[in-house]
Structure 1
Amino acid sequence: MTDTGTDIDTSTSVGTVTQRLRSGTRAWHEALERAGFATAMLAGALPLDRYVGQLAAYRVVLEALEGELTRATCPSVTAVWSPDLVKLPLLERDLHHFAATQGALPEPGPAAEEFVGEIRRTAATEPRELLGFLYVLEGSTLGAMFLCRYVTEAYRLTDGNGASYYGSGDRTRWAAFAERLDRALGEPAVQKRVLAAAERAYRHIALISGELAAGLGAPAPEPV
């Protein structure tokens, strides 16, 4: 859900970092679209607790990522990170809605906690790589724009209640983010590291999706 540029050969330094990221993570992106969690959602067959489970998992992930990005002093990070990219309050609003209407919320699984651990380690060792994680998670909100109507219909959500996060995609915001990313990450060696981080982020999201799709009759996503 991160179709944001023109395909290029990622083994070269030609093109912007967002082009390299899009091309280099395409296999993960397509694998997630074919996976059980996504296909069940599109079919209107994803149990509500799995949808809420995803929100709960993303809450702890984004709490860690947004916190580390906000605290970062690395010039590349501060040039890209902006308060308009914050999504944590949207997830908390959705989870509050489901806590009020459904009762106890599902706890994030091991895959979400593993992602949080990697975010913490990356922030301590190479904070520029956090931008690879951000690229994937911000880009996923563009795909969520398409999925939002399936969510609202399947769970009979009204007035945005329970779908604040899925309804948060914004192409203008994405374009501004991509422009900042391209300006901040011009060095091919740095771009390569950020691409590797984006691939790791996709792997973590695939593990989260796999946990949430357990028992739905479909395998966890793997890149092709």
Structure 2
Amino acid sequence: MTIHAEIETPSRAKRLKAVSSAAHERVDNGVMAAAPFASRQAYERFLRFQYRLHRRVETLYADAALQPLLPDLAARSRLAALEQDFADLGLVLPQADLGPALETPEALGWLYVVEGSNMGAAFLAKEAVKLGFSDEFGARHLAGHPDGRGLHWRRFTAALDAVELTPAEDARVESAATAAFDHVEKLIGEEFA
């Protein structure tokens, strides 16, 4: 008797998690080492870092070609919430350019990183409360989705996994996610140096 077992290929989201785990850990460690909630001044640097990142990817959230692939993509943008956080604190927005339009594989890699950061924002939001900030004042961009962070993330990864790509395009998604994490590390270094 022969037993045939099909080996299931991990989903795109799981592959991205595996490929980027070391970079993700470096980013997490970099943010925590910067102690962004140690003082209001440190939090302001954290806001600048966040704004520069979200401004960089804003074109992706508005990309008409990505909307049918990732339902509710436009509504996921946190840039307006960040701008309101700056207004709440009476801060001037930093100079930050919009990033370029990207082809679908690269866009998916960047969006995976930025959308994933919303999961970690639950911890950050709790820390922001200690400084007097909340999802209604000063830390709006850290607020979870009304349906919950976990469900919001699972909806995103389900749509991400459903996009049909060639193996070469999947490799580009992975490279783009790595590039996105590298960019985040660079921003952390610049804002918290």
Structure 1 unaligned spans of 5+: 1-12, 215-224
Q: Deviations over 1:109-150 (max 9, x none)?
A: xxx54xx4xx41x52xx2332011011000001001111111
Query: Taking structure 1 as reference, are residues 191 and 183 closer, same or farther at Cα in structure 2, changes over 3 Å only?
Result: same
Of 80, 105, 110, the match for 2:92 = 105
The question of 1:79 aligning with 2:69 is answered yes
Query: Taking structure 1 as reference, are residues 189 and 21 closer, same or farther at Cα in structure 2, changes over 3 Å only?
Result: same
The question of 1:40 aligning with 2:34 is answered yes
Shift of 1:158: 4.5
Identity of aligned residues (%): 26
Runs of 4+ residues deviating >4 angstroms: none
TM-score, scaled to structure 1 = 0.71
Cα separation, 2, equivalents of 1:19 and 1:185: 16
The question of 1:134 aligning with 2:103 is answered no
Q: Deviations over 1:56-114 (max 9, x none)?
A: 313422433323x2x32x6xx63125234222222222122122xxxx42524xxx54x
Computed over aligned residues only, the root mean square deviation of the Cα atoms, in angstroms, reads: 2.4
The question of 1:150 aligning with 2:123 is answered no
Q: Deviations over 1:146-186 (max 9, x none)?
A: 11111221x22256311111123611111011111111145
Structure 2 unaligned spans of 5+: 1-7
Query: Taking structure 1 as reference, are residues 89 and 56 closer, same or farther at Cα in structure 2, changes over 3 Å only?
Result: same
Shift of 1:25: 0.4
Of 35, 48, 57, the match for 1:53 = 48
Where in structure 2 are the equivalents of 1:1-224 lying within 5 Å?
Answer: 14-35=9-30, 37-41=31-35, 44=38, 47-67=42-62, 69=63, 71-72=64-65, 78-82=68-72, 83-99=74-90, 104-105=91-92, 107-108=94-95, 113=97, 116=98, 119-120=99-100, 123=102, 126-153=103-130, 155-158=131-134, 160-168=136-144, 170-185=149-164, 187-214=166-193
TM-score, scaled to structure 2 = 0.81
- Alignment length (residue pairs): 181
Determine which structure has more spread, i.e. the larger CA radius of gyration: 2
Cα separation, 1, equivalents of 2:135 and 2:144: 14
Cα separation, 1, equivalents of 2:44 and 2:36: 16
The answer to whether the 8 A contact 1:151-1:163 is kept is: yes
